[in-house]
Chain A
Amino acid sequence: MDWKTLANALFPQGHDISEHENFLHGSATVNGAAVTIIGTTDHAPIGVEIALAQARAILATVRAHPGRAIVMLVDTQGQRLRHRDEMLGINSYMAHLGKCVDLARRRGHRVIGLVYDQALSGGFITSGLMADACYALPDATIRVMALPAMARITKVPEETLIELAKSNPVFAPGPENYLRMGGLQAIWDGDLAASLAAALSDAPSRDERSALGLARGGRKMAQPVIDAIVGSHHVRAA
Chain B
Amino acid sequence: MSSYLEANARERLALFDSFEEFVGPAQRVVSPHLAQLNAPVSFDDGVVVGRARLGDYAVFAAAQEGGFMGGAVGEVHGAKLVGMLRRAVAEKPDAVVLLLETGGVRLHEANAGLIAVSEVMRAVLDARDAGIPVIVLIGGANGAFGGMGIVARCANTLIISEEGRLAMSGPEVIETANGVEEFDSRDRALVWRTTGGKHRYLMGDVQRIVDDSVPAFRAAAIEAIAAIAAARDAQNGAVGLTLEAMEAEQAMLEQRIARFGALPDPLDVWAAMGVGKPAEVPMLDVAAFTAAANPHRQGV
Contacts and interface: CB of A to CB of B under 8 A. Distances in A.
A124 B152 contact: no
Contact of B119 (A86, A150, A178, A210): A210
B243 interface: yes
A160 B105 CA distance: 20
Interface residues of B, number: 85
Given A106-B129, A125-B121, A90 B168 contact: yes
Interface string A35-69: 00000000000001100100110010011000000
Contacts of B178: 81-82
A153 B107 contact: yes
Given A92-B253, A143-B110, A160 B241 contact: no
Interface in A101-134: 102-103, 106-107, 121-122, 124-126, 129-130
Contacts of A150: 107, 110
B183 A103 contact: no
B195 A182 contact: no
Nearest to A161: B37
A79 B169 contact: yes
Contact of B82 (A79, A84, A143, A226): A226
B146 A232 contact: no
A158 interface: no
A13 interface: no
Interface in B175-201: 177-178, 182-183, 194-195, 199-200
A220 B110 contact: no
Nearest to A182: B115
Interface string A134-164: 0000000011110000100110100010001
A210 to B, nearest CB: 6
A98 B107 contact: no
Contacts of A83: 174, 182-183, 194
Contacts of B27: 234-235
A182 to B, nearest CB: 7
Interface in B97-112: 105, 107-112
Contacts of B125: 99, 102
A25 interface: no
Interface string A162-178: 00100011111000011
Interface residues of A, number: 77
Nearest to B122: A207
B33 A170 contact: yes
Interface string A198-233: 000000000101100100000111110111111010
A178 B174 contact: no
A144 B111 CA distance: 6
A177 B169 CA distance: 25
Contacts of A222: 75-76, 78-79, 82, 112, 116, 119
B118 interface: yes
Interface of A: 48-49, 52, 55-56, 59, 62-63, 79, 81-96, 98-100, 102-103, 106-107, 121-122, 124-126, 129-130, 142-145, 150, 153-154, 156, 160, 164, 168-172, 177-178, 181-183, 207, 209-210, 213, 219-223, 225-230, 232, 234-235
Given A86-B194, A122-B168, A209-B115, 20 more contacts: A48-B261, A52-B250, A81-B169, A81-B177, A87-B266, A89-B205, A90-B169, A91-B152, A92-B205, A95-B154, A107-B243, A121-B146, A122-B150, A126-B150, A144-B110, A145-B107, A183-B111, A210-B82, A222-B119, A234-B27
